[in-house]
Amino acid sequence: MPSTKVFLRRRIALIAIILLALGVGGLFARDSIRSWYEMSIGADFAGSGSGEVVVTVLPGESGEEIAQSLVSSGVTASFAPTYRALLATDGLFFPGDYSLKRGMNAKLAVDALRDGANRVEKRALIKEGYRASQIFKVLSEKFDVPVSEFKAIRPADLDLPKEAVNLDGYLFPATYSFSSSDTALTMLKAMWQRMQQELDSLGVPASRIHETLTLASVIQREGQTSSDFKKMSRTFMNRIDIGMPLQSDATVSYAFDGNTFLTTDEERADPNPWNTYKYPGLPIGPIASPGSSAIDAALNPDAGPWLYFCTVNLKTGETEFNETYAGHNRSVAKLRAWLRENPDWK
């Protein structure tokens, strides 16, 4: 037979369990009663709602602000039950646009706001070789942010290397998802951060970022196919090594906001700092956004004696590489013949 002390301990434990159960049950009952009461007086909706409404969670918004946004957009009925549902979570809400319904029960609305499947995102494709002006235009059209706001951002605003003269070359080309909570600054910061990730993965030290992106951008704009990038890189580096001007028409065209590989004598004589016909070495800065292949080519050129290259078929991108000027002239003759046969090519 158990002792009196053991019996008493067991009874006390049983009473404690019963009291705890009654307390928890009371809490649940009280919450249920309060929920029923709020729905009965119209302070909270009963169902999952209908229709569609987009709610935006801004960076740094408080729970009170999020709750008020849900109420003002017609998703939930009133502030108190909405805010209470928010407090019942871990408070982690990601900025962005969310597709919800009008007339939702507060708890269901908060659950939906935490569900990434309800996040509404627009995507923009930034192609390799795009200049900053082209990137601004794409982002402006896709996300309804004025081009002027992108143009107003300076290299220092993104914390670019001190050598950067503008944003060209520093915005990585990829597909990006942004929401209405993003600004011109947050979009461009994301693109520069993505470029930094790429540079880190390729082992580019901070001291070589500007030089690497400048060379990679010229390769990107000159090359028709990525299979030629490493040969082009070696050709440019061979010229730099012997003090021979790069003579890149892409850099000349950039200074005049052109989009052609064919430049005029007047343009090639212009004394702008991107003119690689007039000045030896790399231009003052990148001329476009290079992709991974072009950056890799700038870092790891093929071995070879080439000093010249010429694209002989602008449609297929076929390019010939030569060690001698005589060989280069033969390639140029092929290009001119192709242009005569394709007079409408642009």
Band (pLDDT 50/70/90 cuts) for residue 284 is very high
The average confidence (pLDDT) of the chain is: 87
Region at 144 (left for phi over 0; alpha for psi -120 to 50; beta for the rest): left
Q: Is the pLDDT of residue 21 over 70?
A: no
Taking the chain, what is the end-to-end CA distance rounded to the nearest angstrom? 103
Burial per residue of 197-211, b for 16 or more beta-carbon CB atoms within 10 angstroms, e otherwise? ebbeeeebeeeebbb
Q: What is the CATH number of the domain that holds 86?
A: 3.30.1490.480
Whether 189 and 219 map to the same domain: the answer is no
| Contact yes or no for 231/302 (Cβ under 8 A) | yes
Q: Are 211 and 190 in a shared domain? A: no
pLDDT of residue 32: 53
Judgement on whether residues 196 and 258 belong to the same structural domain of the protein: no
Q: How far apart are CA 208 and CA 161, in angstroms?
A: 10
Domain-located, residue 66: yes
Asked if 44 and 105 touch (Cβ cutoff 8 Å), the reply is yes
Is the sign of the CA dihedral 99, 104, 105, 106 positive or negative?
A: positive
Task: Give the total number of structural domains in the chain.
Answer: 3
Instruction: Decide which of 181, 201, 221 is a domain's last residue.
Output: 201
Q: Identity (one letter) of the amino acid at 99?
A: S
Residue 34 lies in a domain: no
Same domain, 211 and 195: no
Q: How far apart are CA 307 and CA 190, in angstroms?
A: 38
The verdict on residue 3 lying in a domain is: no
| Same domain membership, residue 306 and residue 185 | no
Place of tokens 């990730």: 197
Q: What does each C-alpha distance from 11 to 4, 6, 14, 21 come to in angstroms? A: 10, 9, 5, 15
- Residue 23 covered by a domain: no
Instruction: Tell which wins on pLDDT, 204 or 42.
Output: 204
Last residue of a domain, one of 67, 99, 120: 120
> Tens digit of pLDDT for each residue in 327-346?
999 999 999 999 999 988 86
Has residue 42 got a pLDDT over 60? no
Rg (CA), the chain: 32
**Structure confidence at residue 244 as a pLDDT band (50, 70, 90):** very high
Residues 335 and 258 reside in one and the same domain: yes
The predicted model scores a pTM of 0.76
Residue 258 in any domain: the answer is yes
89, 145: one domain: no
In a domain, 52, yes or no: yes
Q: Rounded CA gap, 308 and 325, in Å?
A: 7
**158 domain-assigned:** yes
Among 69, 65, 75, smallest CA distance to 105 is for 75
CB atoms within 10 A of CB 132: 20
Are 109 and 138 in a shared domain?
no
What is the percentage of the chain residues whose pLDDT exceeds 70?
87
Residues 185 and 235 in one domain: no
Domain containing residue 146: 122-201
Same structural domain for residues 197 and 224? no
Which residues make beta-bridge pairs with 311?
319
Kindly state whether residue 91 falls inside one of the protein's structural domains: yes
